[in-house]
Structure 1
Amino acid sequence: MLEIFVVLYCLYFLLTTYTSIMQIGFVKNARGLKAIILDENRYLEAANYSIEKERMAILSSFYSFILFILWIGFGLQTLDSFVNIESSWLKAVVFIDLFIIINWILGLPFDLYSTFNLDKKYGFSNMTPALFIKDTIKTAILFLVFGSLVIAAISWIISSFNTWWVWGFVFIFAVIILINMLYPVIRDKMFDKFEPLKDKELESKIENLLNQVGFKSKGVFSVDASKRDNRLNAYFGGLGTTKRVVLFDTLIEKLSHNELLAVLGHELGHFKNGDILKNIAIMGFVMFVFFAIFGNISEEMFLGLRLNNEPYAIIAIFLIFSPIFSFFLMPLISLISRHNEYAADEFGSNMQSKEDLVSALLKLANENKSFPLSHPLYIFFYYSHPPLVERFKELGFDVHEKSDEALKDSIYAN
Structure 2
Amino acid sequence: MLEIFVIAYCVYFFFTIYTSFMQIGYVHKARTLRPIILENEKYIEAANYSIEKERLSIVSSFYNFLLFIFWIGFGLSILDSLISVESYWLKAIVYVDLFIIINWLLGLPFDLYSTFKLDKKYGFSNMTPALFVKDTIKSGILFLVFGSAVIGGISWIITNLQTWWIWGFVFIFAVIILINMLYPVIRDKMFDKFEPLKDKELEEKINTLLSEVGFKSSGVFSVDASKRDNRLNAYFGGLGSTKRVVLFDTLVEKLTHNELLAVLGHELGHFKNGDILKNIGIMGAVMFVFFAIFGNLSEAIFLGLSLQNEPYAIITLFLIFSPILSFFLMPLISLISRHNEYAADEFGSNLQSKEDLVNALLKLANENKSFPLSHPLYIFFYYSHPPLVERFKELGYDVNEESEEALKDSIFNK
Asked if these proteins are the same fold (TM beyond 0.5), I'd say: yes
1:89 match = 89
Tell me the secondary structure at the aligned position of residue 306 of structure 1: coil
Confirm or deny that 1:59 pairs with 2:56.
Answer: no
Q: 1:399 offset after TM fit, Å?
A: 1.5
1:113 match = 113
| Distance (Å, rounded) in 2 between the aligned partners of 1:238 and 1:323 | 25
2:409 match = none
| Distance (Å, rounded) in 2 between the aligned partners of 1:329 and 1:16 | 14
Tell me the secondary structure at the aligned position of residue 215 of structure 2: coil
Tell me the secondary structure at the aligned position of residue 245 of structure 1: strand
Confirm or deny that 1:215 pairs with 2:215.
Answer: yes
| Distance (Å, rounded) in 2 between the aligned partners of 1:304 and 1:27 | 43
Superposed counterparts of 1:363-374, under 5 Å:
363-374=363-374
2:125 match = 125
1:249 match = 249
AA aligned opposite 1:141: I
CA shift digits 1:68-103 (9 cap, x unpaired): 000011100000000111100000000000000000
1:72 match = 72
2:170 match = 170
TM-score, with structure 2 as normaliser = 0.97
| Distance (Å, rounded) in 1 between the aligned partners of 2:385 and 2:91 | 42
2:379 match = 379
Q: 1:126 offset after TM fit, Å?
A: 0.1
Q: 1:9 offset after TM fit, Å?
A: 0.2
Q: 1:312 offset after TM fit, Å?
A: 0.2
Q: 1:255 offset after TM fit, Å?
A: 0.1
1:229 match = 229
Q: 1:352 offset after TM fit, Å?
A: 0.4
| Distance (Å, rounded) in 1 between the aligned partners of 2:308 and 2:161 | 17
1:26 match = 26
Tell me the secondary structure at the aligned position of residue 204 of structure 2: helix
Superposed counterparts of 1:248-397, under 5 Å:
248-397=248-397
Identity of aligned residues (%): 82
AA aligned opposite 2:345: D
| Distance (Å, rounded) in 2 between the aligned partners of 1:56 and 1:280 | 31
Q: 1:58 offset after TM fit, Å?
A: 0.3
| Distance (Å, rounded) in 2 between the aligned partners of 1:390 and 1:203 | 31
Tell me the secondary structure at the aligned position of residue 221 of structure 1: strand
2:410 match = none
CA shift digits 1:19-42 (9 cap, x unpaired): 000000000000001001100000
AA aligned opposite 1:129: P
| Distance (Å, rounded) in 2 between the aligned partners of 1:75 and 1:155 | 21
CA shift digits 1:202-222 (9 cap, x unpaired): 000000000000000000000
Q: What's the RMSD between the two structures over aligned residues?
A: 0.8
| Distance (Å, rounded) in 2 between the aligned partners of 1:110 and 1:384 | 24
Q: 1:401 offset after TM fit, Å?
A: 7.4
| Distance (Å, rounded) in 1 between the aligned partners of 2:393 and 2:350 | 16
Q: 1:398 offset after TM fit, Å?
A: 1.9
Confirm or deny that 1:139 pairs with 2:129.
Answer: no
CA shift digits 1:264-287 (9 cap, x unpaired): 000000000000000000000010
| Distance (Å, rounded) in 2 between the aligned partners of 1:49 and 1:228 | 18
Tell me the secondary structure at the aligned position of residue 246 of structure 1: strand
| Distance (Å, rounded) in 1 between the aligned partners of 2:387 and 2:134 | 36
| Distance (Å, rounded) in 2 between the aligned partners of 1:210 and 1:157 | 42
Which stretches in structure 2 are left out of the alignment for 5+ residues? 403-414
Q: 1:162 offset after TM fit, Å?
A: 1.9
AA aligned opposite 1:11: V
AA aligned opposite 2:206: I
| Distance (Å, rounded) in 1 between the aligned partners of 2:366 and 2:395 | 18
| Distance (Å, rounded) in 1 between the aligned partners of 2:132 and 2:401 | 44
AA aligned opposite 1:54: E
AA aligned opposite 1:186: I
AA aligned opposite 2:199: D
2:98 match = 98
Q: 1:132 offset after TM fit, Å?
A: 0.0
| Distance (Å, rounded) in 2 between the aligned partners of 1:253 and 1:401 | 31
Q: 1:387 offset after TM fit, Å?
A: 0.4
2:46 match = 46
Q: 1:161 offset after TM fit, Å?
A: 1.2
Tell me the secondary structure at the aligned position of residue 232 of structure 1: coil
2:206 match = 206
AA aligned opposite 2:231: R
| Distance (Å, rounded) in 2 between the aligned partners of 1:129 and 1:151 | 31
Which stretches in structure 1 are left out of the alignment for 5+ residues? 403-414
AA aligned opposite 1:391: R
